[in-house]
Amino acid sequence: MLTQLIWAHGVHHHDEEGEEEGHDHGHEEKTYPVGITIIGIAAVLLCSFLGTILPIIFRNKSFFREDTLLFSCIKLFGTGVILAVVFIHMVIPAGQILTSEYTYEIFYEKYTSFAGVFAILGIILTHIIQVYTSHFLYKNNENPNHQKSSDSSVTIAFDTEGADITEEKMYQNKNKNLSAIDGCAEEQHGLLHMMESKEKQIICYLLEIGISLHSILIGIAFGMTNDEELIVLIVALIFHQFFEGVSLSSVFIEAYFKRFTAIIIMIFVYSLTLPIGAVIGLLIRSAIESTDKVYITTQGIIDAVAGGILIYDDLVNILSRHCNSNLFKRGSITRKNAQLIAFYCGIAVMAIIGIWA
């Protein structure tokens, strides 16, 4: 999409100067007023909101619980959407932008693989953040008195007169020790579940950051578009934001946030990032040429870094975790096939949308 904008605003701009000297244009390129862009912003905002709110509304319904096939299929469909967005709409276009003649010489002559470098940088940053946050998370939740209490709970008690342990006392001590062990196991299971939920919450925040960066950049590019591609772009972004919102919301539901405030913030942040970017694009449409070197280079770098963040989160934290979960492993081959087909369909949908945007 950003590459298309470079051609729309940059190449046509320079070609027009030469064509005006030689001959008249065969036809005038159709442009749309600002009002059409504003209507498009409102439509994208609505679809972004619906994509995030619908999974939350239906999360308590029996047909949309986390262990249902419908929920898993929608989650993997959205996962496929994000994966296709990363490569088709972010990393590859970022490479085309950085290697265009409208950036600096170092990007298109001296070294033409900077898009991959910045994407890898995003992956490394995400991995480092997750590794160290997970480390401190587990350290902070360790119970130092747990081992001591566990050891003391299994000691054998003799009677006060020093006599041998009677059969009745052995039976009582055995029951007492088993009860203590069961209690410790239950406590440990609850602790691990709590830490797993917190780790999922960290994943949610990382995913939100990557998607937000990408959405702002797309919004800026969308706001700067006023040619005949605008209508098709609006339709493509409507589907894009809706399905990406479904995937993001599904991940947030699985994180078990104690406070609903986190989910509300997620909904508003995701719904508003692209429209905010579009408003910025409208404001700078007449102030800065889209062929400005700083503008184009910044777009390419941030899109590549955000793409790297989403690659790691999508494949490692969402797809891999889902396919290695007990629910997926215990499922029948038919259930697994249905989820994988949904994943591939998500990729296919965004690949087709990539023809226009």
Query: Is the pLDDT assigned to residue 236 strictly greater than 60?
Result: yes
Structure tokens at 3: 């590459």
Q: What's the whole-number mean pLDDT along residues 183-209? A: 60
Provide the domain count of the chain.
Answer: 1
Asked if residue 222 belongs to a domain, the reply is yes
Provide, rounded to the nearest whole percent, the portion of the chain with pLDDT above 70: 70
Query: Is 244 a member of any domain?
Result: yes
- Residue 8 inside a domain? The answer is no
Q: Is residue 164 part of a domain?
A: no
Residue 229 has pLDDT above 70, yes or no: no
More confident residue, 241 or 106: 106
* Residues 228-240, mean pLDDT to the nearest whole number: 75
Tokens standing for residue 204: 């949610």
Total number of residues shown for the chain: 357
Helix, strand, coil shares, percent, the chain, to 5? 80, 0, 20
Query: What is the arithmetic mean of pLDDT over 240-247?
Result: 79
Name the percent of the chain lying above pLDDT 90.
15
Residues 119-151: tens digit of each pLDDT:
999 899 888 887 877 777 667 655 544 444 444
Is the pLDDT at 179 greater than 60, yes or no? no
Q: Which of 179-183, 230-234, 300-304 has the lowest average pLDDT?
A: 179-183
Confidence of residue 347 (pLDDT cuts 50, 70, 90): very high
pLDDT at 80 over 80: yes
Is 21 among the domain residues? no
List, for residues 6-51, the tens digit of each pLDDT value. Answer: 444 444 444 444 444 444 444 455 666 778 888 989 999 999 999 8
Distance CA 285, CA 308 (A): 28
Mean pLDDT of 268-294: 82
Cα separation of the two ends of the chain: 5
- In sequence order, what DSSP letters do the residues of 118-169 get, joined into one string? HHHHHHHHHHHHHHHHHHHHHHHT--HHHHHHHHHHTPPPPPTT-PPPPHHH
Kindly tell me if the per-residue pLDDT of 56 is higher than 70.
yes
Domain presence at residue 187: yes
For residue 30, the model assigns a pLDDT of 62
Query: Helices (H), strands (E): how many in the chain?
Result: 15, 0
Task: Give a yes or no: residue 148 inside a domain.
Answer: no
- Amino acid at position 101, single letter: E
Are the C-beta atoms of residues 275 and 45 closer than 8 Å to each other?
yes
Cα separation, 294 vs 63, in Å, equals: 50
Helix/strand/coil for 111: coil
Mean pLDDT of the chain: 75
- Paired tokens of 241: 């934001």
Model confidence pLDDT, tens digit, residues 251-266 = 787 777 777 787 888 8
- Alpha-carbon torsion (121, 124, 127, 132), positive or negative: negative
pLDDT at residue 177 is higher than 60: no
State the average pLDDT over residues 82-111: 88
Tell me the Ramachandran region of residue 162: left when phi exceeds 0, alpha when psi lies from -120 to 50, beta otherwise.
left
How far is C-alpha 307 from the chain's CA centre?
10
Q: Which residue range forms the structural domain that includes residue 135?
A: 34-141+178-354
- The model's pTM: 0.65
Q: Is residue 84 part of a domain?
A: yes
**Interval 185-203 mean pLDDT:** 57
Q: Report the pLDDT averaged over residues 54-60.
A: 82
